[in-house]
Every structure is written in C-alpha cells, then in structure tokens.
Amino acid sequence: MSDQNIPDQLRYTDEHEWVERVSDTRVRIGITEYAQSKLGDIVFVQLPEVGSETETGEPFGEVESPKSVSDLFAPLTGKVVETNSALEAAPELVNSDPYGEGWIIVLEVADADDLEAQLEQTLDSDGYAKVTED
C-alpha cells in the first residue's frame, strides 16, 4: 500500500490527476501528491485558456520541474471555466498543497448525468492506491 496521501472524497486517473466535484456540473482538478513528489519542485504550470474545451485523456497543460516537463491530461471532457491564476506567481503551491491551494483548473460538463457517467470512469482512492504501488 502506498504511503501517499490519497483523500477518499476525490476521484483519480492513472495519469495522476485528481478530480473533486464542486457542483452538479463542475469539478476542480489538480495533480496528486504522488505525482508532485515524483516530479520534484514545480517551477512552472502552463494553464489552458478559460473557455477552452478538454477531452478525456488529452493534454490540457503542462507542469515543469527541474527534472522534466510533464503533460497534464484531462480526466473528463468539459469546458475550462476557471484556472488557478495563483500558480502563475507561485507554481510551488502544487508541491506544498496539491489537494488545496495547488488546484489547477475547474471544468464544467454538459449536465449532472454526464458528470456522473464520466466520474464513474475514474478511480476511487483504493484504485488509485494500487496505481501508485512501487
């Protein structure tokens, strides 16, 4: 079992993004504690444009560390309605608080049923813990 912090209330992808439902049709997205620990110190986050569309499994931005540049993959199909502009000045928030102040985007999906169906395709905390086992 992984010793990483994997909050039960979130959903996850095997690409190490987390998803938090914040309303009937909106989710907040970021990268997991596991992902940021493997990347090292985040020095830059490329955010998508508000209003842009995402498609499940497709890149929507990047995180950069001294070790590498890694794509961020959309866990859901939707429209970007908000980005975390604080990351422009303080990308290290992804390291210090990946499940809080280090969130990356908010997506809106077509309707509540669509959101529920898409969330069912993601991993729960137990499923994600299996992905992170080394």
Any idea what the CATH number is for the domain that residue 73 is in? 2.40.50.100
85 inside domain: yes
pLDDT band for position 67 (50/70/90)? confident
| Span between the terminal Cα atoms of the chain, in Å | 9
In the sheet where 11-12 sits, what is the strand order? 11-12, 17-21, 26-31, 105-108, 78-83, 53-54
pLDDT band for position 2 (50/70/90)? very low
Q: What is the pLDDT of residues 29-57, one digit of tens each?
A: 999 999 999 999 999 999 999 999 999 99
2 inside domain: no
Query: In terms of residue numbers, what domain contains 62?
Result: 11-127
Domain count, the chain: 1
